[in-house]
A and B are shown apart, each in its own frame.
Chain A
Amino acid sequence: MSSVATLPASTASVRIRISKDDILLRTGLVLLIGLLLLAVVFPLYTLLSKSFEDRDGEFVGLQNFREYFETPALFTSITNSLGVAISVALIVLVLAFVYAYALTRTKMPFRGLFRGIALIPILAPSLLAAISLIYWFGNQGVLKSWLFGASIYGPIGVIMASCFWVFPHALMILITALSTADARLYEAAEALRTPKWRVFWTVTLPGAKYGILSTGFIVFTLVITDFGVPKVIGGRFNVLATDVYKQVVGQQNFEMGAVVSLVLLLPALVAFIADRWVQRKQVAMLSARAVPFQPKSDPLRDRLLFVFCSIIAFIFIAMLAMAAYASFVTFWPYNLSLTLNNYDFDLMDGGGWEAYYNSIRLAIYCAVFGSGLIFLGSYLVEKARGVTWLRTILHLGAMLPLAVPGLVLGIAYIFFFNHPDNPLGFLYGTMGILVICTIVHFYTVSHLTCLTALKQLDPEFEAVSLSLKTPVWRTFRKVSLPVCLPSLLDVASYLFLNAMTTVSAVVFLYSPETMLASVAVLNMDDAGDIAPAAAMALMIVYTSAIFRMFHSLLVRTLNRRTQVWRQK
């Protein structure tokens, strides 16, 4: 066995001359790494260093941390944050699992419709749920009595609203986890005359184990880093995320904001690492030879699940409908006549219709530039030859944003781009910084989507092109790009929707010219104009919904025109 023996003595190592293609790809790699350094690493570093400085920029070591940890508010916030995040994770996990089970493993009627309804919250900013809950259960709420005297302002409201907006995120992962079942396992279990409940516990649950864990982590991170919901409906219930907002926006105490956001980065980072670990396990579990599972009908089970899904879907529609109705009410609860006045945003404190147009602009820029840039990045990670270390660095850079909560990113951007010595300072307060920040915030998921699409391409395409003396960009344009187009459009759509609804990072970065609709919702609620806030949130929902429709139409047309080759 000589294969792992010492290396041969001859040391005259061969260096292949670098071709034009390689220069092109490597330049691209270096450029993108540079971009990610500027847009992720440097800002985070600035944030970190800021937490060790006082107001005058002097290094004070752990002083800020000490001061923060001595504040009595802190532990309340930490326990509140953890409590809410864990409760939501558990509740959503159970509900979304049953819902996903009904959608994937049964013959329940209207599965498509139920799926569509459950995805509604993705079209709305997280604040919508909170606003709607105020109309349902607030002090003037229609169903206030249902709370038996408890107040919606506080943990109850935060948990309910959070469950609503994270539900589709959980559902999508669980649907994927439950769709990848191997029918042969079920056939084997059936052949052994295993009772159904036992099949569920021994086959279904273990099969979805990693999906469930992953969902738990993601929901936990989403909730613990969201501040829109606790801000609107939290009342006096403080959580870490609202602490950051109060420190930075309320008091412009950036150093303390840096400290709290680092504290907030911690659970998010833990969840991120745990999720990565789980994902890796999951990959190992998937077998290419699995036979897809075909659900059989079971009248009793299907009927029960139909009732369950109907209740959830009804709640979702009720949430949306109440906000929609309230946005037309003249003066809740004293004058219930309908009016369009609440849509007259130009008279409100929140940026007016311009904010809405800005949001659309932001969403379009993010969709166009973001998807292009991210696809290019994933292409380089996957296809650049040699220089493995550069590709690894770029890939790590692309994974990093997932671990960084939006509001941490936003604050880091303030420090970095508003620094007087930063030559990029001209970006501060422009649409440009919002675009960059939003793209970075949602970079990782997009990157992974593109990477998955590219991995499905034969790895030898590039080798073939080289043998045919074709420059790499031509193969990129003629083959890689067209083949990955559906994924690319998905990424564009993902970026568009998120840019429309996101609040967490951009709330620290908008300027009067670049006020956004989602931020306007927050600000109008802040000023007490809850009906216009609902109206603006609904404008976001309508726009996102129209965009979604446009997207699926486009995809269908494109598939007919450019993806004919997929048909056998």
Chain B
Amino acid sequence: MKKFINNISQLSRGILGLAVGLMLAIPASAETLTVYTAVEAEDLKRYAAAFNEDHPDIKIRWVRDSTGIVTAKLLAEKNNPRADIIWGLAATSLMLLQSEGMLQPYAPKGLGKLDSKFRDSANPPSWTGMDAWIAAVCVNTVEAKRYNLPTPTSWMDLTDPVYKGHLVMPNPNSSGTGFLDVSSWLQIFGERGGWQFMDNLHKNIAWYTHSGSKPCKQAARGETPIGISFAFRGAKSKAAGAPLEIVLPKEGVGWDMEATAIMKGTKKLSAAQTLADWSITKKANILYNKGYAVVAYPGVAKPVKYFPAGIQEAMIDNDFEFAAVNRRRILKEWQKRYDAKSEAK
């Protein structure tokens, strides 16, 4: 018995040491940047690895979630910020943070080389763009055939009662894709027309998802015939073998930029600036192009497999200012109208 107790106490001492060690180990390395991002998880490793090829001394600690969540998290942490830099979050979200005075303006080295659309117009800019991601409709051809659904060609088509219960879209409150959809519809159809459209669309929606890629992934699996998602996700699922057709509605599609911004008050400003500098290099943009058809650095973009043709033309002339300024109001209105109900009216 005594021996056993001794063993136990040795074991617990070991575990205690381990635990303390673990807890201390995290904040130990000095040059670790806390980077908030909404970039797809599978890309983050590549980003960090490429960055570390040039800057091995700066470690990246990712905090990843959906656009809406990262935005909300940053806002919630306003008084006690934990992020040093944001790398890969919707520009509309960054503009919101900018208006809250949470961003540190900085002109990264080589800013001049970027497409001027892909930067904050102020000087120095509060954020710099990386790439654009674009709304699209993922249609599962097998399921569409099974339910006799015509392939939609426009947003308006989707309000046809034939699609009732066959549509899935992201909840704009949590998903950046969801939000860019909603804000684009309000721009395309106008404030009244937009809500009218969504009222009709809502009747057809089977459920709203938390993340922007889920509708397309569910369409890919045939769990729903049609998912409103984004083109990049559709291309990837199609490449994985899903029977998908990626539709760009003819009214035009909403889009948003992913962008980089330094948090005001970061204790690691110079490291954050190094990352911001690197984030607009050609090398970085080549990396962005692996998943995004449109990138900030002119001349880098190469065609992405299965990416729908004519996407540049389909992109609406997005009013980011409108989207950012009205973000809270739009989301609240949306929640009031659609989040509430459990049964389609």
Contact = CB atoms under 8 A, between A and B. Distances in A.
Do chains A and B directly touch (beta carbons under 8 Å) in the complex?
yes
Interface of A: 71-73, 76, 80, 134, 138-140, 151, 153, 231, 235-238, 246, 249-254, 330-335, 346-350, 361, 364-365, 368-369, 372, 418-420, 425-426, 429-432, 435, 477, 481-482, 511-513, 526-530, 558, 561-562
A429 B82 contact: yes
Contacts of B174: 246, 249-251
Interface in B1-44: 1, 4-5, 11-12, 15, 19, 22-23, 26-27, 40-42
A513 B213 contact: no
Contacts of A334: 142, 222, 241-243
B270 interface: no
Interface in B168-224: 171, 173-174, 205-211, 213-218, 220-224
Interface of B: 1, 4-5, 11-12, 15, 19, 22-23, 26-27, 40-42, 45, 61-64, 68-69, 71-73, 75-77, 79-80, 82, 142-143, 165, 171, 173-174, 205-211, 213-218, 220-224, 240-243, 331, 335-336, 339-343
Contact of B342 (A71, A238, A252): A238
A521 B41 CA distance: 15
Contact of A349 (B40, B61, B69, B240): B40
Contacts of B335: 73
Contacts of A236: 205-208, 341-343
Contacts of A252: 69, 71-73, 75-76
A394 B341 CA distance: 44
Contacts of A527: 41, 211, 213-214, 217
A431 B210 CA distance: 26
Contact of B223 (A139, A237, A253, A350): A139
A555 to B, nearest CB: 13
Nearest to B80: A420
Given A153-B207, A431-B22, A73 B340 contact: yes
A188 B63 CA distance: 68
Nearest to A488: B8
B218 A512 contact: no
A252 B171 CA distance: 14
A528 B242 contact: no
Nearest to A332: B221
Nearest to B331: A251
Contacts of B41: 348-350, 527
15 contacts: A71-B336, A76-B340, A151-B165, A236-B343, A246-B174, A246-B339, A349-B41, A372-B12, A430-B26, A477-B5, A511-B63, A513-B26, A526-B211, A528-B209, A528-B213
Given A235-B207, A246-B173, A347 B42 contact: yes
Nearest to A347: B42
Given A372-B12, A430-B26, A528 B142 contact: no
A512 B4 contact: no
A232 to B, nearest CB: 10
A7 B205 CA distance: 77
A7 B340 CA distance: 66
B222 A250 contact: no
A134 B12 CA distance: 42
B72 A140 contact: no
B222 A139 contact: yes
B62 A561 contact: no
Q: Which 4 A-B pairs have the closest CB atoms?
A: A528-B217, A252-B72, A73-B340, A528-B214
B101 to A, nearest CB: 14
A140 B223 contact: yes
Given A349-B41, A372-B12, A528-B218, A76 B211 contact: no
Nearest to A522: B210
B342 A80 contact: yes
Nearest to A335: B241
Question: Which of B4, B213, B221, B335 gathers the greatest number of chain A CB atoms within 10 Å?
Answer: B221
Contacts of A153: 206-207
Nearest to A525: B214
- Tell which of B72, B220, B243 has the most Cβ of chain A within 10 Å: B72
B63 A71 contact: no
A134 B217 CA distance: 14
A140 B222 contact: yes
B241 A528 contact: no
A431 B23 contact: yes
Contacts of A76: 340-342
A521 to B, nearest CB: 14
B23 A254 contact: no
A529 B210 CA distance: 13
Nearest to A238: B342
A90 to B, nearest CB: 21
Contacts of B72: 250-253
A87 to B, nearest CB: 15
A105 B240 CA distance: 54
Nearest to B208: A236
B223 A134 contact: yes
A359 to B, nearest CB: 14
A352 to B, nearest CB: 8
A260 B161 CA distance: 35
A372 B9 CA distance: 11
Contacts of A250: 68-69, 72, 171, 173-174, 210
A513 B242 contact: no
A237 B73 contact: no
Contact of A331 (B22, B27, B143, B241): B241
A432 B63 CA distance: 18
B72 to A, nearest CB: 3
Given A251-B173, A372-B12, A511-B63, A73 B5 contact: no
A512 B22 contact: no
Nearest to A141: B223
Contact of A365 (B15, B40, B64): B15
A418 B73 CA distance: 12
Nearest to B225: A139
B265 to A, nearest CB: 12
Given A71-B340, A334-B243, A529 B217 contact: yes
A481 B263 CA distance: 52
A532 to B, nearest CB: 11
Contacts of A237: 342
B242 A331 contact: yes
A281 to B, nearest CB: 38
B278 to A, nearest CB: 20
Given A250-B171, A251-B173, A349-B40, A562 B4 contact: yes
Nearest to A254: B76
A556 to B, nearest CB: 14
A372 B165 CA distance: 53
Contacts of B19: 365, 369, 431-432, 435
A511 B61 CA distance: 10
A243 B221 CA distance: 27
A331 B223 CA distance: 12
A564 B52 CA distance: 60
Contacts of A332: 221
B338 to A, nearest CB: 9
Contacts of B342: 76, 80, 236-238
A470 to B, nearest CB: 16
Contacts of A246: 171, 173-174, 339
A24 to B, nearest CB: 18
